[in-house]
Structure 1
Amino acid sequence: MSKKTQTSQTEIIITGFGGQGIILTGRILGMSASLGDKKESTLVQAYGPESRGGACNAQVIISDRPIHYPYVNTPKILVAMSQAGYDKFAPALAPDSILLVDQDLVNPENAACDHYAIPSTRMAENLGNKMMANIIMLGFCTAITQAVSSEAAQATIARSVPKGTEERNIEAFNKGFDYGLSTLKGREKRAAGQTGAVLQ
């Protein structure tokens, strides 16, 4: 039996502006992978000149093996919640990368890869708390990419958000997750040549 030399490693960049909970999203992803899914993970966070309103990003690597270099060069997954963040990291995308955007905040023009869009900020406003847009996006990302398991993400969210808001944040995660599943289903139908309601 030949030994598997291919390491399964997923490199992720989450980008947006300060105040969107970008770093928290990265932390939840990394913790979900290590504590929930028993994988290796690293998190590198970077802020722009001002934290609130300035550009920030979280770089997460999830792997089956020890990670020796924690910085992401070519993201397998890019989650963009601001146009400036998208513009900064879009050149690093490869044709087989996965791009996820907040469709009201990012126009992924000339993206090198396939992209998926969700109105996460609008959905959070409809839930009565704009600050949960990052958790909705996390649910969407989990459904589309399966970078972490839904169970691990929900357990980590419950540990990571302010006391008393656990239920509402898990509801937000599930809204994003369901939207992601519907998006995938819609694409499958289109690929199979069936007509049906198309989620935008």
Structure 2
Amino acid sequence: MNRYEIRLSGAGGQGMILAGKILAEAGVMVDNLNISQSQSYGPESRGGASRSEIVFDEDQIDFPKVIKPDLLVCLTQESFDQYGSDLKSYGVIIVDSRIDISAVRQEFKDNVYQLNILDLAARKIGEEISANMIVLGVISRIIQNKIPVEFIKKAIIEKVPPETIDINMEAFDLGFDLKLDKRSYIYGRI
């Protein structure tokens, strides 16, 4: 695997930091894979901007931060406005359906997937905070050739409170089973 960069962004309280930690933990389980995970969030515990970055590489990671993501997740308009154009040419953007993507650069239009992440979390799981596990399910499907799904599930079990494992797994499976069209697999890098 060459360097692969993921940026998860949203608002504080949406769980993007935890999702990043889970992805990093799952990456550690893969032999000969180096991982870097970093996070940033505003002073507010809920509602302020937050982001988590994960870098995977079989070679030594010489710079631990995301330079240009291969995969970008945006759960808020603010995060999309800030990071939506900061993507590799073949990269994929996953955004919540509430986000206005009209400003996306032309070369990325076919790489954007708008999914009802927050609505599904609220309606199907009963808590919008489950959006992070839905996102992990979608990401797992996209990167399963890099990090096996069972490693991500194992990392979820290790990182969430025991009494929430079932609901988190339900949300993960919901995200993994979301219908993505064939564009999700056109780019051999994802």
TM-score (structure 2 length as normaliser): 0.86
**1:42 partner SS:** strand
| Identical-residue share of aligned pairs (%) | 32
Query: For residues 62-91 of structure 1, what are the alpha-carbon distances to aligned partners after superposition, in whole Å with 9 as ceiling and x for unaligned?
Result: 111221211111111111111101111123
How many residues end up aligned between the 2 structures? 178
Question: What displacement does 1:55 show?
Answer: 0.4
Distance, in Å, in 2 between the alignment partners of 1:45 and 1:102 is 20
Is the contact between residue 136 and residue 172 of structure 1 (CA under 8 Å) also seen in structure 2? yes
Measured after TM superposition, the shift of residue 45 of structure 1 is: 0.5
Match of 1:124 in 2: 121
Q: What letter matches 1:139 in structure 2? A: G
Q: Structure 1, residues 115-163: CA drift from partner, whole Å, max 9, x if none?
A: 1122111111121122111100110122134353211111111111111
1:50 is displaced (CA, Å) by 2.1
**Contact preservation (8 Å) 1:144, 1:184:** no
Partners in 2 of 1:109 and 1:148 — Cα distance?
32
Q: Is the 8 A contact 1:118 1:137 kept in 2?
A: no
Q: TM-score, length-normalised on structure 1?
A: 0.82
Matched to 1:83, the amino acid is Q
Pair 45,72 (structure 1): closer, same or farther in 2 beyond 3 Å: same
- How many angstroms apart in 2 are the aligned matches of 1:42 and 1:162? 24
Whole-angstrom CA distance in 1 between matches of 2:8 and 2:61 = 19
- Name which of 91, 102, 111 aligns with 1:109: 102
Give the aligned CA root-mean-square deviation in angstroms. Answer: 1.9
Deviation at 1:165, TM superposition (A): 1.2
Aligned to 2:162: 163
Q: Say yes or no: does 1:14 pair with 2:8.
A: yes
Per the alignment, residue 96 of structure 1 pairs with: 90
Q: Which residue of 2 aligns with 1:153?
A: 152
The gaps in structure 1 that reach 5 residues or longer are: 1-6, 192-200
After superposition, give the CA deviation of every residue in 1:14-54 in whole Å (9 maximum; x if it has no partner): 0000010110011001111112x232111111112423111
Structure of greater Rg: 1
Which secondary structure does the structure 2 equivalent of 1:164 belong to?
A: helix
